[in-house]
Amino acid sequence: MDVLVVCLPTYNERENLEAMVSALAEVLPHDGRILVIDDNSPDRTGEIADRLAAEREDVDVLHRQRKEGLGPAYLDGFRHALALGADLVAEMTSRTTRTTSHGSSLQRRTPISCSAPDTWQVAGRGTGASCGG
């Protein structure tokens, strides 16, 4: 089975990160991983990410020196995910206004298997991004 890594850039997400990681982990394949990419958040989001990584086997953290924007954060995250051995890389935001505040808009659309096209989706704000196809 393909290994999926979801890249989750953060900046000042202290209030959101833990709930986001929990919600995302519920819909990931059993060998899926979450890569938190923190841009040196002044609210100490990176420290929370480090704690989650120490507590959970499915969380990794990439610390960046400063805020450089979402695009560069994703690119660094994608490179890091591939270095971790990802076969598939997905992206999403950690803003709970688009995710966990709606109960959980992360939804399992069909049984998760990233080896088949269009079998896995991450939904947010009414749109979805499919994994595997």
pLDDT digits 0-9 by tens, 72-100: 999 999 999 999 889 999 888 766 444 44
What pLDDT is attached to residue 1?
A: 66
DSSP designation for 94: -
- The mean pLDDT of the chain is 77
70 within domain boundaries = yes
Residue 48: domain span: 4-104
Mean pLDDT across the stretch 11-32? Answer: 91
Contact 49, 17 (CB under 8 A): yes
Above 60 in pLDDT, residue 124? no
- What is the spatial distance between Cα 35 and Cα 61, in angstroms, rounded to a whole number? 6
- What is the spatial distance between Cα 63 and Cα 8, in angstroms, rounded to a whole number? 12
**Minimal CA–CA distance to 31: which of 92, 110, 108, 88?**
88
**pTM beyond 0.75:** no
Mean pLDDT across the stretch 14-42? Answer: 92
128 within domain boundaries = no
- Provide the H-helix boundaries in the chain: 17-27, 45-55, 70-83
24 within domain boundaries = yes
Report the relative pairing of strands 33-38 and 4-10 from DSSP bridges: parallel
117 within domain boundaries = no
Above 80 in pLDDT, residue 71? yes
- What is the spatial distance between Cα 63 and Cα 69, in angstroms, rounded to a whole number? 14
Mean pLDDT across the stretch 115-132? Answer: 37
> Under DSSP, is residue 116 helix (H, G, I), strand (E, B) or coil?
coil
66 within domain boundaries = yes
Match 């954060």 to its residue by tokens: 73
- What is the spatial distance between Cα 109 and Cα 133, in angstroms, rounded to a whole number? 14
List the CATH number of the domain containing 85: 3.90.550.10
